[in-house]
Amino acid sequence: MAYNLLKGKKGIIFGALDENSIAWKTAERVHEEGGTFVLTNAPIAMRMGQIKELAEKTNSQIIPADATSEEDLQNLVTQSMEILGGKLDFVLHSIGMSVNVRKGRAYTDEKYDFTTKGWDVSALSFHKVMQSLYKADAMNEWGSIVALTYMAAQRTFPDYNDMADNKAYLESVARSFGYFFGKEKRVRVNTISQSPTPTTAGQGVKGFDGFISYAEKMSPLGNASAADCANYTVSLFSDLTKKVTMQNLYHDGGFSNTGVSQEVIDEFSE
């Protein structure tokens, strides 16, 4: 059901790869709610995914950009405002990658060149995106910037590896840049701490299927899906949340506040 929550609003959506990705679902919902946007992803990711299909479905243009490149991001911001006809109202940062995870290296045996690359892509890129927007004065007042995170930033999940450190840094960037964007531009910056979600990136984590099952048993409302997260993101892009900023917002069916559930007790009591 659509409510025209984003009618007339314009933005950029980073990270749509395929129909399993949260960014993909968010783009579909933003389109349904009347928003218009530019889609962007790294050139290599675009070759792997089906972003052209999404662009056709949502009547959007695609601008390839490496989110670790300041030059690419400056070009992205400038072109997006030209295509969309003015300043932006929303931006979604849905980017994450660990080379250590991909290469099967344990947290206690990191290759630091891999670590640095993953940090740049997954965390520092959020600062680079916002700095590009800030310097270009590209955001309308009461605009909204959202990044996706995971509660491994607060609690230890051994196989999440160095991505946990990346997410902690990402959340800190949201708070710090959120202060300046709020004071000087009246722009909101928040992170959504999402349930484990079977995206292409998520499925690369060792033992991911087992953990999804565990989280489902632990969460009073069950895991939040990619589609659920898209709905939540739309609410943060809308004018209904104009005074919400610098927050890490848990969207996990109650997992983050549950010590143990009866289902988990029953599982280990059998």
Give the dihedral of Cα atoms 46, 197, 131, 91; nearest 10 deg. 80
| Helix runs in the chain, H state only | 22-32, 43-48, 51-58, 70-84, 99-102, 112-119, 125-135, 163-185, 208-218, 226-237, 262-269
Please, which residues bridge with residue 90 across strands? 11, 144
261 appears as a binding residue in the annotation: no
Angle at 38 between CA 166 and CA 66, to 5 degrees: 40
Phi, psi of 9 (to 5 degrees): -90, 150
In three-state secondary structure terms, 189 is strand
DSSP state for residue 225 in the 8-state scheme: P
21 is in an annotated binding site: yes
Comparing CA positions, the residue from 39, 11, 35 lying closest to residue 23 is: 39
Q: Are 101 and 163 in contact (CB under 8 A)?
A: yes
Angle, CA 27 vertex, CA 34 and CA 11 arms, to 5°: 65
Catalytic sites, residue numbers:
150, 160
Consult the annotation and say whether 44 binds a ligand: no
Contact partners, residue 102, CB within 8 Å, separation at least 6: 204
| 3-state SS assignment for residue 171 | helix
Residue set of the binding site for NAD(+)? 15, 21-22, 95, 167
